[in-house]
Amino acid sequence: MPERRTVALVTLGCARNEVDSEELAGRLEADGWQLVEDAAEADVAVVNTCGFVEAAKKDSVDALLEANDLKEHGRTQAVVAVGCMAERYGKELAEALPEADGVLGFDDYTQISERLQTILSGGIHAAHTPRDRRKLLPISPVERQESAASVVLPGHGPAVPEQGPGDLPDGLAPASGPRAPLRRRLDGSPVASVKLASGCDRRCSFCAIPSFRGSFISRRPSDVLNETRWLAEQGVKEIMLVSENNTSYGKDLGDIRLLESLLPELAGVDGIERVRVSYLQPAEMRPGLIDVLTSTEKVAPYFDLSFQHSAPGVLRAMRRFGDTDRFLELLDTIRSRAPEAGVRSNFIVGFPGESEADLAELERFLNHARLDAIGVFGYSDEEGTEAATYENKLPEDVVAERLAHVSRLAEELVSQRAEERVGETLRVLVESVDEEDGVYGRAAHQAPETDGQVLLTNGEGLDVGRMVEAKVVGTEGVDLVAEPLFQGALTRGEEAGR
């Protein structure tokens, strides 16, 4: 019997890419490939790239070059680029980076096994020619679902027929239902992301994502529920709903309030202890959604709001909504319903035409917003965006100076916000247990990777995946230090009796 082909997936970028990688892993394993964690032990290293900003693109190129080095020192025979950077640049990336043996776009995902086998066998699969994926679906959102079957939507997973437990490798979806996703988990984390939708209809002047991710299209609620049930069977305790814009969910299914009805159903899935929603647009927030996010058991009162700036002139140049006072009103509304709610956001400084007064207005907002986590980025031109054509570009040294200044302010402010939480009682999901490093987890106001974490003191006996109540007794910058109130998981009955 021939030795099984081995493949490793190296994932960069956001949580959406992680979902895409697990779909690719599911497709490959179902076709007979053996998944390995270490790229040096794989016949083929597949690098799922990020194409959002220059720093992310550089990281992607570095990862491809590192994987290429393994061809001289390890088992690796081929290195293949997939993901956003591969989709966005296609042939251009292939020509600029001959070290990559293949550059595959999203349309190759359904034939990923065949493509890798061709490359592994010494064949050549031509890099794709990038195209504007917004043009693949109808302009009208309500007409998109009928056309969706003809468009590859990474992370949505194929709709596979119902199969018996012996038809697929152990641990490979589907778990139940005729439209469960084909997905393979790549780690044992008690947290997993679930794609709620793909693409974006907004036209922010600085963002190229819609051009290579396409127009907004929702997944059907039954698919999201089936995937969540399968993840719960795999030991997942927290799911994070991801897309380019979760607040638009359902608009192409005829119900813009569909998220409000879906969230309680997801929270009711056996085994799921927390549901988190990411990527919310302030311009699309509505009272009903705020109510569900702040009052539904097991739904985290967590608001990942994409403010980007708060000076009205800069926001209009970005083709975005709002200003400092409106944003503060939104935060007041959220906290009037859930004072403990977590809020994070990202901001761009040094945008073309940004004045000193605009920067001061952003600082005014940050000083009053009490955000739990803040990401700050310096503006840089992105190919194909409207902002790249703007005049009044700020010198690079000015952008760098403003980035450093606002980053220092942000670090100070999130540390202050963490200190405000001393004395609070939190539900903490244990995510890592190490004899030397200690026991770490996250509370409802902390998303994976992007926000802080909680160090649990006296955490002996706690296991990964346990949900515990703990009281905050100190801080370490944005991170919290908390004392467990009792050992063990909170059951549904205990939760209801609180």
- Bind-site residues: 14, 50, 84, 200, 204, 207
In the chain, the amino acid numbered 82 is V
Alpha carbons 193 and 276: distance in angstroms, whole number: 9
The answer to whether the beta carbons of residues 210 and 199 sit under 8 Å apart is yes
Alpha carbons 471 and 465: distance in angstroms, whole number: 18
Question: Which residues, in sequence order, are bridge partners of residue 348?
Answer: 377
Helical spans, DSSP H, in 276-355:
287-295, 312-317, 324-337
Binding residues for [4Fe-4S] cluster: 14, 50, 84, 200, 204, 207
The answer to whether the beta carbons of residues 280 and 300 sit under 8 Å apart is no
Tell which residue, 70, 37, 63, 36, has the closest CA to residue 49.
63
The answer to whether the beta carbons of residues 367 and 359 sit under 8 Å apart is no
Tell which residue, 408, 401, 409, has the closest CA to residue 379.
401
- The DSSP call for residue 187 is S
Distances (CA, A) of 336 to 111, 295, 303, 374, 420: 50, 12, 14, 21, 17
Pairing relationship of beta strands 78-83 and 44-49 according to DSSP bridges: parallel
b/e sequence 336-361, b meaning 16+ C-beta within 10 Å? eebeebbbbbbbbbbbbebeeebbeb
The answer to whether the beta carbons of residues 373 and 445 sit under 8 Å apart is no
The answer to whether the beta carbons of residues 337 and 295 sit under 8 Å apart is yes
Alpha carbons 45 and 442: distance in angstroms, whole number: 31
Pairing relationship of beta strands 425-434 and 438-442 according to DSSP bridges: antiparallel
The answer to whether the beta carbons of residues 185 and 233 sit under 8 Å apart is no
CB-neighbour burial class of residue 58 (10 A; exposed 0-12, middle 13-18, buried 19+): exposed
Helical spans, DSSP H, in 166-241:
209-213, 221-233
**φ and ψ at residue 301, rounded to 5 degrees:** -75, 70
Pairing relationship of beta strands 302-304 and 342-349 according to DSSP bridges: parallel
Phi-psi sector, 183: left (phi>0), alpha (psi -120 to 50), beta: beta
The answer to whether the beta carbons of residues 446 and 478 sit under 8 Å apart is no
The answer to whether the beta carbons of residues 9 and 21 sit under 8 Å apart is yes
E strand intervals along 41-178: 44-49, 78-83, 102-103
